[in-house]
Each structure stands twice: as structure tokens, then as C-alpha cells.
């Protein structure tokens, strides 16, 4: 194996070591969203509710594929290298699709969230909708907001002069009944929620496409390395 091929070998090993760390990071991110931000998922449609699980699965797949790449390059096993290249090519196509979908869904997701918020407000304090009530309370407390567009949205559900206690700046029991304007958060939650979640979709899509480009180069390098290892084995 000449100097250039040795460089490709160590480059593939290094890239896949980084991918293995990224895979573990995605597993942790998916778990964090599933546990810590689970209440926020009530404001998304059913199409988005499995996103944390999909992120965890993607992290596991990337970690396993990166392991094949690391071992194949380090041990110079052409079979593992080619298996790695095929798997990585499949992931590459999936990530390109995810990147395009992230950009395409950005506008639709805002409408979905707004509709879910309006629907949730109409069911607030109703029996059998405790999950929606908890989601609104968590959202308004965490983001310091009140209602979908502003605090007056709650008048249709709770009556004029009343808002959920989670709209209050001190969030004490009963503080939302007959509130004083100076004691509640008045800005709407839709803009805050969009800034934190929908706005990040463009970033996620851009990162996915960037990673896909690096993976494309890695597939090319892996195929070159696999061919070199196979040729070297033929002459041994």
C-alpha cells in the first residue's frame, strides 16, 4: 500500500471515528427530546411525534456503520470496507431526502403548530384533555408567553379577565383569575415556539446536506481503498 492509499486509510478511520461520536450524539439528542421536550410534541401533528425515536434509530445506524468503516480501514478488510460503502451510500440518500424535507416542511409546520395550539386552547380545562392542559402550562411557563398570538386568545375559552395560572409571572395558584395585566406575560407563544423549533429546521436541513457531501467523498475513498486492498491481496 503506497503513501497515498495509507493516507486514505487513516482518513477513513478518522472520519468514521467522528461519525461514531456523531451517532452517539444523535442518540443522546433523541433521548433528550423524548424526555425533556415531550410536552411540546403535543403541539405537532402525528407525522412529527415519532421524530425523537427516528433520531435515536438514525444515531444507532450511523454508529454501527461507522464501526464497520473504522474496523475495515484499520484491519484492511475489503469486505467490511465495501459493506460500509454500501450502507453509507444508503444513509447518504436518506440524509439528502431528510435535508430536502426539512426545507419543504418548514412552512407547513408553522401552520400545523398554530392549528394544534388553537385546538388545544379550546380543550383546556376539559376532562380527558389533561395532556393538552399540561402541554400549555409547560410551554407558557418555559417560554414566558401566554396564548397563541397573545394573552387575549384565552378569553374564548376561560372568559374575559381570565388566563391560565401558567401565564402569570409568579405562577401562583389562582393568579390567572381576574389577573392584573402587569402580573402576566402578554406575548404569544406561537412566535416563541417557532423561533425555537421551526426556525431550527433550516439549520438541520443545511447540516444534513453538508454531512451528506462529506459522506459522498467518504464513499468514494472507501471504494478506492477497498479496491486497493483487494488488488494487494491478489498479489500476496
**Residue 157, C-alpha cell as written in the block:** 375559552
Annotate 14-80 with DSSP letters as a single string.
HHHHHHHHHHHHHHHHHHHHHHHSGGGGGGS-TTTTTHHHHHHHHHHHHHHHHHHHHHHHHHT-HHH
pLDDT of 236: 40
For the chain, list residues with pLDDT below 50.
234-236
Q: Can you tell me the distance from the alpha carbon of 103 to that of 187, in angstroms, rounded to the nearest whole number?
A: 27
Distance CA 229, CA 74 (A): 12
Query: Three cell numbers at 92?
Result: 447518504
Domain map (residue ranges) of the chain: 3-234
pLDDT of 203 reads: 65
Q: Output the CA–CA distances (angstroms, integers) from residue 156 to 29, 40, 123, 151, 159, in the order listed.
A: 37, 22, 11, 11, 6
Q: How far apart are CA 207 and CA 184, in angstroms?
A: 38
pLDDT at position 235, please?
38
Amino acid at each position: 500500500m503506497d503513501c497515498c492509499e495509507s493516507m486514505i486509510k487513516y482518513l477513513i478511520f478518522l472520519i468514521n471515528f467522528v461519525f461514531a461520536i456523531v451517532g452517539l450524539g444523535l442518540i443522546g439528542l433523541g433521548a433528550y427530546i423524548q424526555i425533556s421536550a415531550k410536552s411540546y410534541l403535543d403541539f405537532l401533528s402525528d407525522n412529527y411525534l415519532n421524530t425523537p425515536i427516528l433520531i435515536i434509530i438514525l444515531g444507532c445506524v450511523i454508529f454501527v456503520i461507522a464501526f464497520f468503516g473504522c474496523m475495515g480501514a484499520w484491519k484492511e478488510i475489503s469486505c467490511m470496507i465495501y459493506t460500509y460503502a454500501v450502507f453509507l451510500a444508503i444513509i447518504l440518500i436518506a440524509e439528502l431526502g431528510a435535508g430536502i424535507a426539512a426545507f419543504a416542511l418548514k412552512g407547513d409546520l408553522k401552520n400545523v403548530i398554530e392549528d394544534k395550539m388553537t385546538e388545544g386552547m379550546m380543550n383546556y380545562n376539559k376532562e380527558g384533555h389533561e395532556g393538552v392542559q399540561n402541554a400549555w402550562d409547560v410551554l407558557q411557563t418555559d417560554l414566558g408567553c401566554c396564548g397563541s398570538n397573545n394573552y387575549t386568545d384565552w378569553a374564548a375559552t376561560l372568559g374575559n379577565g381570565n388566563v391560565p395560572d401558567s401565564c402569570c409571572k409568579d405562577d401562583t395558584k389562582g393568579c390567572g383569575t381576574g389577573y392584573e395585566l402587569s402580573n402576566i406575560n402578554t406575548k404569544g407563544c406561537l412566535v416563541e415556539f417557532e423561533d425555537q423549533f421551526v426556525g431550527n429546521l433550516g439549520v438541520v436541513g443545511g447540516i444534513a446536506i453538508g454531512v451528506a457531501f462529506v459522506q459522498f467523498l467518504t464513499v468514494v475513498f472507501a471504494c478506492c481503498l477497498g479496491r486497493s486492498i483487494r488488488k494487494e491481496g491478489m498479489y500476496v
